Amino acid sequence: MASASPSPGPGPGPGPSASPSPGPGRAVRAKALATVPETYDVPLVALNFRVRSRLSLYLNPPAQVSAYWPALAEELGFEYLEILNLQAQPDPTGRLLDAWQSRERATVGGLLAKLAKLERLDVLEDLRPGIDEDCKKYLKKQREAEAEKPLQVPAVDSSNPQTSELAGITILDDPRGQMPELFDAFICYCPSDIQFVHEMIQHLEQTDCRLKLCVSDRDVLPGTCIWSITSELIEKRCRRMVVVISDEYLQSNECDFQTKFALSLCPGARQKRLIPVKYKAMKKEFPSILRFITVCDYTNPCTKSWFWPRLAKALSQP
């Protein structure tokens, strides 16, 4: 079905207002697209949260004189019903990038080309320093990973293609690693708290919130190093991490590692990446490393009715 501009209900929709405004000449466009040679081959996953959230600030609000996210969605090949579904999301641009990233070999260069075609050179000029920095970091990590690989004879015991450790680590993951499964939040919990995690799934995934949670016992495939997997998921696959606090949590080495790793990615909680949740009374003291972060408290009967909407809103932030 050919893509079309939806116009659901009143207010500005992704129709005529999404048409690009007359842009500058070819020289300006060429300057905006000028980039390091490898950038076009860098996968979209290289872009970090800061760049993505900044892009959402530009493209989420309906614009009268320039293209916003529905025009980009059409350029990326999304159909009418898909765009309608994205329109219901709190961060349609972020969801659009996640969806495009998971359906084909999406690259940073491809995104830059589409933005240039839509004459959003204001976005390119503002984001290019951050984009170039993310691409360079990604390429540097790739080179370092290649350099650290041990010299050995390639395996010849199977004709099937071999996958890396961090490719195909979740139930819906692409085993080739080209379309990694992405999540709204990684859930850090102890096995003894699994019942509350089930309740969390019911309220956040199986309702209109439509959030996607990463629950290790449900989503992660067995057979690989748990430390490598959780680091990959927390840093690159999940936008947030929910920490289920309990007395048992304080005794878990695995939860301690996950919490400290997430905190190291956002010192001072500047990105609101980690959200502590207290769901039952505790005999021991609340973990000191989380005391400076606002807690979502399920134990307070006066605020219990606000708990799930408040947590869902925090996880939906761009």
Determine, yes or no, domain membership for 191. Answer: yes
254 and 113 in a common domain: no
For the chain, the domain total comes to 2
Least confident of 13-17, 148-152, 175-179, 214-218: 13-17
Per-residue model confidence (pLDDT) at position 271 = 64
Q: What is the CATH number of the domain that holds 284?
A: 3.40.50.10140
188 and 102 in a common domain: no
- Which of 147, 180, 202 is a domain's end point? 147
Determine, yes or no, domain membership for 1. Answer: no
Q: Which two tokens stand for residue 133?
A: 């920095």
Determine, yes or no, domain membership for 156. Answer: no
- Which of 119, 147, 175 is a domain's end point? 147
Which residue range is the domain that position 300 belongs to?
A: 165-316
213 and 116 in a common domain: no
Q: What is the CATH number of the domain that holds 67?
A: 1.10.533.10
Per-residue model confidence (pLDDT) at position 161 = 40
95 and 230 in a common domain: no
275 and 175 in a common domain: yes
Q: Which two tokens stand for residue 312?
A: 């869902």
Side by side, which strands form the sheet with 183-188? 213-214, 183-188, 238-245, 274-278, 296-297
Sequence length of the chain is 318
In which band, very low, low, confident or very high, does the pLDDT at 255 lie, cut at 50, 70 and 90?
very high
198 and 58 in a common domain: no
3-class DSSP state of 218: helix
In which band, very low, low, confident or very high, does the pLDDT at 268 lie, cut at 50, 70 and 90?
low
H helices of the chain, where? 26-33, 49-59, 69-75, 80-87, 92-103, 108-117, 121-148, 194-204, 216-219, 226-232, 253-265, 307-316
- Which of 116, 147, 178 is a domain's end point? 147
206 and 88 in a common domain: no
Would you call 148 exposed, middle or buried from its count of C-beta atoms within 10 A (0-12, 13-18, 19+)? exposed
Q: For strands 274-278 and 238-245, give the pairing.
A: parallel
**Residue 276 corresponds to which amino acid?**
P
Residue 242 contacts by C-beta under 8 Å, 6 or more apart in sequence? 185, 186, 187, 188, 200, 213, 275, 277, 311, 315
Determine, yes or no, domain membership for 291. Answer: yes
Tens of pLDDT, residue by residue over 203-212, are 999 999 999 9
Cα dist from 77 to 71, 80, 81, 106, whole Å: 10, 10, 12, 12
Q: Is the torsion defined by CA of 161, 141, 262, 272 positive or negative?
A: negative
173 and 68 in a common domain: no
Tens of pLDDT, residue by residue over 273-295, are 899 999 999 999 999 888 889 99
In which band, very low, low, confident or very high, does the pLDDT at 15 lie, cut at 50, 70 and 90?
very low
Determine, yes or no, domain membership for 271. Answer: yes
Q: Which two tokens stand for residue 200?
A: 């969390």
Would you call 217 exposed, middle or buried from its count of C-beta atoms within 10 A (0-12, 13-18, 19+)? exposed
3-class DSSP state of 75: helix
Determine, yes or no, domain membership for 26. Answer: no
Tens of pLDDT, residue by residue over 99-147, are 887 766 788 888 888 888 888 888 888 888 888 888 888 888 777 766 6
3-class DSSP state of 213: strand
Determine, yes or no, domain membership for 2. Answer: no
* Separation CA 66–CA 46 (nearest Å): 27
* Separation CA 138–CA 136 (nearest Å): 5
